[in-house]
Chains A and B, each alone.
Chain A
Amino acid sequence: MSFINYMAREINCKLVYYGPGLCGKTTNLQYIFERTNPEHKGKMISLATETERTLFFDFLPLSLGEIRGFKTRFHLYTVPGQVFYDASRKLILKGVDGVIFVADSQIERMEANEESIENLRTNLAEQGYALERLPFVIQYNKRDLPNVASSEELRQLLNKSNVPDFDAVARTGVGVFDTLKAVAKLVLTELRKGSGG
Chain B
Amino acid sequence: MVNPQMVMYEEEFNQIQVVVDRLVRDANAKVVFIVDKNGQLIAAAGDIDNVDTTSLASLTAGNIAATGGMAKLLKEQEFATQFHEGEKANIHIQLVGNRVILVVIFDAKSSLGLVRLRVKKASEELNHVFETLLKKAHEPGTDSPFAEITDEDIDNLFND
Are the C-beta atoms of B1 and A194 separated by less than 8 Å? yes
Complex interface residues of chain B between 138 and 153 (CB less than 8 A to chain A)? 138, 140-149, 151, 153
Are the C-beta atoms of A3 and B157 separated by less than 8 Å? no
Are the C-beta atoms of A1 and B55 separated by less than 8 Å? no
Interface residue B46 (Cβ < 8 Å from any Cβ of A): no
Interface residue B6 (Cβ < 8 Å from any Cβ of A): yes
Interface residue A185 (Cβ < 8 Å from any Cβ of B): yes
Are the C-beta atoms of B4 and A11 separated by less than 8 Å? no
- B156 surroundings in chain A (CB, below 8 A): 65, 67
Among the stretches B7-15, B25-33, B78-86, B106-114, the one at the interface with A is B7-15
A1-36 vs B, CB cutoff 8 Å, 1 = contact: the mask equals 111111110011010000000000000000000000
Are the C-beta atoms of A14 and B157 separated by less than 8 Å? no
| In the complex with contacts A129-B2, A197-B137, A75-B146 CB distance below 8 A | no
Are the C-beta atoms of B65 and A91 separated by less than 8 Å? yes
| In the complex with contacts A12-B40, A67-B149, A196-B143, A75-B62 CB distance below 8 A | no
State how many angstroms separate the Cβ of A134 from the closest Cβ of chain B.
9
Count of B interface residues, CB-CB < 8 Å? 47
- A64 surroundings in chain B (CB, below 8 A): 157-158
State how many angstroms separate the Cβ of A39 from the closest Cβ of chain B.
13
Interface residue A191 (Cβ < 8 Å from any Cβ of B): yes
Interface residue B58 (Cβ < 8 Å from any Cβ of A): yes
Interface residue A87 (Cβ < 8 Å from any Cβ of B): yes
B113-155 vs A, CB cutoff 8 Å, 1 = contact: the mask equals 0000000000000000000000001101111111111010111
What would 15 A/B residue contacts be, using CB atoms closer than 8 Å? Answer: A5-B7, A7-B8, A7-B10, A12-B40, A59-B55, A59-B59, A61-B55, A65-B157, A67-B156, A75-B39, A91-B62, A184-B158, A194-B5, A196-B140, A197-B142
Given contacts A88-B69, A90-B69, A184-B157, 5 further A-B contacts (CB under 8 A): A69-B145, A91-B65, A95-B37, A195-B147, A197-B7
